Amino acid sequence: MALQTATTTELDEAQLKVIAETLFTEEHSRPTTNLLAQFTLGQGEKTLSVPKVGLMSAAKLIDGVDMTDSQDIGMVVNDVSPVEAGLKVILTDKLVRQLNPSAFTIVGQQMGEAMARIEEEDAITLFASLNGGTDFGADDKLLTLDNLSGCISVAKANKFGSQLVIVHHPNAIFAVANDFFASSPQRLDAPSFVDSIVNDFFVFSLNGVPVFESGLISKIGAVDSGRGAIFDTRAMGMLTSQGLTSGMEHDNSLRASELVVVKDYIAFELDDARGAPMRYEIADLTTST
């Protein structure tokens, strides 16, 4: 009786199908990290040095009078190093022999979603430290149109930046969407600086600030409020040393191949003065009123 095993060609084809789907899903499932300033490390580099410069002031000058005051650069340098994250799945020889494209697509989607979740959660964790840890909003408050408008106004008045975005939980956005669409049923487009890769998470724009949703924002402790954020895209950064890489190793006794996916990255704070956490209710909504 002939021994039926997965050939090298079949394994390569399976790996390509899974990884292609993993890459696509991972890239298109993390709105927050795609809204951050993007950095990469070159070959042989292990640390990114990020300078932060203090605020300077200019003054009126008088003709013929020397300038006597000099401005302090106030530079602080933070060193940022990426860390690895990844996962492993096992593809049995039987599954590979069947070469069912839909099965590989599902595996790839699950792997991509898993990687996107851990990256997204890393970025969301940074929200709490923006604005020196001082929240806009509070526990037991809804993200109404008035509150959203207030957050935007305060952010602009305090010069958070020119590329403001808002990310919050879908349940928080529901309250403001009700108010917003009642007065303006048109879905306003996002500003041009927002990458099309996050369009699936874009809800609307208000006063030139695009609003995005992320279901990975969690409740704070035992209460029903959670922290989203309003921030300039330069408030936080995403450093990638190595994008998604994959490797496959066959185990003869297991009659399966182990597929490993790894990414070397870190989400980090660039300037907490360019953003603020937004604490509002994110409790589940009723569907039977």
Residue 12 has pLDDT above 70, yes or no: no
- Residue 56's Cα: distance from chain center in Å? 31
Q: For residue 256, is pLDDT > 60?
A: yes
CA-wise closest residue to 244 among 87, 110, 37: 87
Whether the pLDDT of residue 4 is over 50: the answer is no
Which residues have C-beta within 8 Å of that of residue 253, sequence separation ≥ 6?
Answer: none
The mean pLDDT of 267-276, rounded to a whole number, is 94
Supply φ then ψ for residue 213, to 5 degrees: -120, 145
Q: Count Cα neighbours of 36 within 13 Å in the Cβ-side half-sphere.
A: 28
Given a cut of 90, whether residue 73 has pLDDT beyond it is no
How high does pLDDT run on average in the chain?
A: 82
Per-residue pLDDT for 172 more than 90?
Answer: yes
3 state DSSP class of 48: strand
Cα Rg, the chain, nearest whole Å? 24
The token pair at 272 is: 């907490």
Q: What mean pLDDT is predicted for residues 93-99? A: 73
Q: Quick: pLDDT tens for 22-34.
A: 666 666 557 898 8
Q: 162 pLDDT exceeds 70? A: yes
**How crowded is residue 286: how many other Cβ atoms within 10 Å of its Cβ?**
6
- Which residues, in sequence order, are CB contacts of 179 under 8 Å at separation 6+? 144, 145
* Percent of the residues in the chain that have a pLDDT greater than 90, as a whole number: 36
In contact, 39 and 240? CB cutoff 8 Å: yes
pLDDT(131) > 70: yes
Stretch 70-81: mean pLDDT: 78
Q: What is the DSSP letter of 284?
A: P
Question: Is the model more confident about 142 or about 109?
Answer: 142
pLDDT of residue 47: 87
Q: Hunting for tokens 């980090």 — which residue is that?
A: 268
* Structure confidence at residue 8 as a pLDDT band (50, 70, 90): low
Q: Where in the chain is the domain with CATH 3.30.2320?
A: 134-234+272-281
For residue 271, which of 240, 231, 226, 239 has the smallest C-alpha distance? Answer: 231
| Confidence tier at 17 by pLDDT (50, 70, 90) | low
Q: What is the mean pLDDT of residues 224-251?
A: 89
pLDDT over 60 (residue 44): yes
Are the CB atoms for 31 and 166 separated by under 8 Å?
no
Asked whether the beta carbons of 219 and 280 are under 8 A apart, the reply is no
Q: Is the pLDDT of residue 102 over 70?
A: no
- Picking from 27, 40, 24, the residue whose alpha carbon sits closest to that of residue 82 is 40
pLDDT for 66: 78
pLDDT of residue 2: 33
H/E element, 146: helix 145-157
Residue 165 pLDDT greater than 60, yes or no? yes
**For residues 56-82, average pLDDT:** 79
In degrees and rounded to multiples of 5, residue 210 shows phi and psi of -75, 145
- Residue pair 87/19 in contact (Cβ under 8 Å)? The answer is no
Query: Among 3.30.2320, 3.90.1690, 3.30.420, 3.40.50, what is the CATH number of 134-234+272-281?
Result: 3.30.2320
Full-prediction pTM beyond 0.85?
A: no
Top mean pLDDT of 7-21, 194-208, 265-279 is at: 265-279
